[in-house]
Amino acid sequence: MIKDFMTNDHRECDNLYAPLEEAISKEDWDRALELYTPFKDAMLHHFAMEEEVLFPKMEEYVGGGEGPIYVMKMEHSQIKSIINSLGEAIEAKDKRKALGYGETFMIMTQQHNMKEEQILYTMAEQLPFDKEEVLKEMKEV
Partner 1 sequence: MFKGVSLDQAPPFEAPLLFFLTAPLFAILAGAALTEALFFQQHIAILHLFSLGFMLNIMFGALLQMLPVVIGVKFQNPKRMAWWVYIPLNTGIALFFISLYFDIALYHPAALLLLLSIGSFALLTLYKLFNAPSNTPTLWAFRLSLISLLIALAMGVFLLTTLKNPPEIFGFVLPMHALFAAFGWIALLIIGVSYQVIPMFYVTTEIDRRVQYMVIWLISGALTLLLLALITLMATDENIVVTFILSATFGFILFLLLNFALFVYAVMTLLRLYNRKRSIKEPSLGFWYVGLFAALAASIYPAAMPFNHFSDNIYAVLFGYGFAISIIYGMLYKIIPFLSWFHISSRGFFDMPNMKEMVDERLLYLHLGLHLLSFALLILYPKAAAPFIIAENILFYINIKKAVKIYFEYKAKKSPFEGFSRQ
Instruction: Tell me which residues touch partner 1 (CB under 8 A).
Output: 14-15, 17-19, 21-22, 25, 62, 66-68, 71-72, 74, 78, 81-82, 85, 96-97, 99-101, 103-104, 106-108, 110-111, 113-115, 118-120, 122-123, 126
- Closer CB to Fe ion, 51 or 94, in the complex: 51
Nearest alpha-carbon partner for 10 in 125, 127, 112: 112
- Rounded Cα distance between 102 and 99, Å, is 5
Q: Give the separation between CA 6 and CA 58, rounded to whole angstroms.
A: 15
100 binds, among Fe ion, partner 1, none (CB under 5 to 8 A by kind): partner 1
Please say whether the beta carbons of 39 and 17 come within 8 A: yes
| 1 touches, from Fe ion, partner 1, none (C-beta below 5 to 8 Å by class) | none
